[in-house]
Amino acid sequence: MARILDGAALAAAIKQEVAEEVRRLAARGIRPGLAAVLVGHVAASEIYVRNKVQACAELGLFSDLITPPADVSTEDLLALVDELNARDDIDGILIQLPLPPHVDSKKLLDAIDPAKDVDGFHPVNAGRLLAGRPALAPCTPAGVIEILKRSHIPIAGQHAVVVGRSDIVGKPVAILLLHENATVTICHSKTRNLGEVTRQADILVAAIGRSGFITTEMVRPGATLVDVGINRLSMREEFDRFFKGDAKREAAFAKRGSTIVGDIHPKAFEIAGAYTPVPGGVGLLTIAMLMSNTVRAAKLRRGL
């Protein structure tokens, strides 16, 4: 039977380590600080940011939630970023995406001081990550590596296949796996004979953003499956495609009117050696790694 890689337990362990580090820094008069910028009112974004601010409070970090109106201009947001860059009590700056269409998101993210870029999206941090130099890595890819390491899944010498080439997940997770001495193949929607490639994977990371895209036929029995996808299903026919006969999911779907599925078809987990569930897997580590990055940024800024 496949081993479930429990994201909740791993995230709790990371948060505990972060809290201990925050206490050690407090003894030296240092309190790491995170500024979260939430533009307008997007329900999902409000939930995400609330969870991040709550995590700061639980772990002893300082947080500052800034909520500009939805019609704020790019120029005003750039001025806000300049202010946050200059504040000594702020070690990390988080701009919650997506932003309103009229805002130049790329210009805004590039304006963040790389030393405070706790999301790891800045080109400077991307370059440092590629070069293997100290950098703030994107939270979800960093979480993937933590899951593998803390679950004692071998990485060095293994063939890791990453399906997805986004700047936020696919590319950085491939680089991080390479730094851990895996042999890495990056695939995407245009890859020919995709199933032939994915079946070679000892570690298969799915981050393509398509419900159940990786099917059982595309997985080598015994492989470790890391599912980064979070796709919401609200149509009955979609639900039946993945979870027909699953009483627990059926009850949740009936109650909420929707459910979550990853980029890997749930049936594929049955032949895996180990896998991250959805929900309950990689997603839970993202906030934990954000807290860890904020503490790391605080230490790097002070030369600790």
Residue 116 annotated in active site? no
Residue 96 annotated in active site? yes
Sign of the dihedral defined by the CA atoms of residues 259, 202, 288, 64, in that order: negative
Q: For residue 217, give Cα distances in angstroms to 195, 200, 212, 220.
A: 7, 12, 12, 8
**How many residues does this entry show for the chain?**
304
Q: Which of 91, 117, 119, 227 is catalytic?
A: 119
Structure tokens at 210: 């398509």
Q: Which residue has the tokens 């039946």?
A: 240
Amino acid identity, position 4:
I
CA atoms of 272 and 257, how far apart (whole Å)? 29
Q: Which of 52, 91, 117, 158 is catalytic?
A: 52
CA atoms of 270 and 267, how far apart (whole Å)? 6
Sheet of 92-95, strands arranged across: 62-66, 33-37, 92-95
CA atoms of 285 and 294, how far apart (whole Å)? 14
- Strand pairing category for 159-163 and 203-206: parallel
Residue 240 annotated in active site? no
Q: Which of 15, 91, 96, 117 is catalytic?
A: 96
For the chain, where are the alpha helices, taking DSSP H only?
7-26, 43-59, 74-86, 105-110, 123-131, 139-150, 170-179, 194-198, 236-243, 247-256, 283-301
Angle ∠(82,62,139) on CA atoms, nearest 5 = 75
Active-site amino acid positions: 52, 96, 119
